[in-house]
Amino acid sequence: MEEKNILKARALKISRESKKSVHEGKKRFIVIRVGKKHFAVRYEEIIFIGQNREIRILPKVSSPFIGIVNFKGTIFNVADIKLLLNQSDQSNKKNLIFLKKYFIALVYDDVDDLVFISGNAIKSISNSDFNFIKTFYSHDEQDVYIINLKEFYETCVSS
């Protein structure tokens, strides 16, 4: 019985060490789908991912903002990336990613994955249509655009 516990403890230790080494030096991203495009947001910049949150629509706010939402007593501005992409939103489903900085909640259609990406897998975009998209990586034969949240915020505020 004691040998079994020793082997189990060793296996657990090896498992922990292999998990650490597999993701060491990589950045974590949540991959979301907005329309037909895929975007990545740094995992560390996210407070909460929620589905079908009630948004207070404000008709006179400037694009890409559509309204506000209360999250645990804090008011967040709701930004819809589809508006920046000149896509209409046919869905009444409003899934939101609440970001730590800037008090912004991003509207998304679906969460695709949590991925770990090494720095050499991230490629630069020389001339993007959007200044908040400067890098991307390929995942499952799909380009995933990494959102620079500081640039996204500055784009939203200046529009």
Note the pLDDT tens digit of each residue in 47-78.
999 876 788 889 888 888 889 999 989 999 99
Q: How many domains is the chain built from? A: 1
Average pLDDT estimate for 14-18: 57
Confidence of residue 16 (pLDDT cuts 50, 70, 90): low
Q: What is the CA radius of gyration of the chain?
A: 19
Q: What is the mean pLDDT of the chain?
A: 83
Whole-number pLDDT of residue 90: 58
Beta bridge partners of 116: 28
Average pLDDT over residues 120-137: 86
Averaged over 3-26, what is the pLDDT?
66
**Burial class of residue 25 in the structure, from the number of CB atoms within 10 Å of its CB (0-12 exposed, 13-18 middle, 19+ buried):** exposed
Q: Which domain holds residue 95?
A: 2-158
Note the helical H segments in the chain.
2-23, 81-84, 149-158
CATH of the domain at 122: 2.40.50.180
Q: Is this structure's pTM higher than 0.85?
A: no
How far apart are alpha carbons 37 and 145 in whole angstroms?
8
Question: Greatest CA span in the chain, whole angstroms?
Answer: 70
C-alpha to C-alpha distance for 73 and 84, rounded to whole angstroms = 28
Task: Please report, rounded to a whole number, the percentage of residues in the chain having pLDDT higher than 70.
Answer: 84
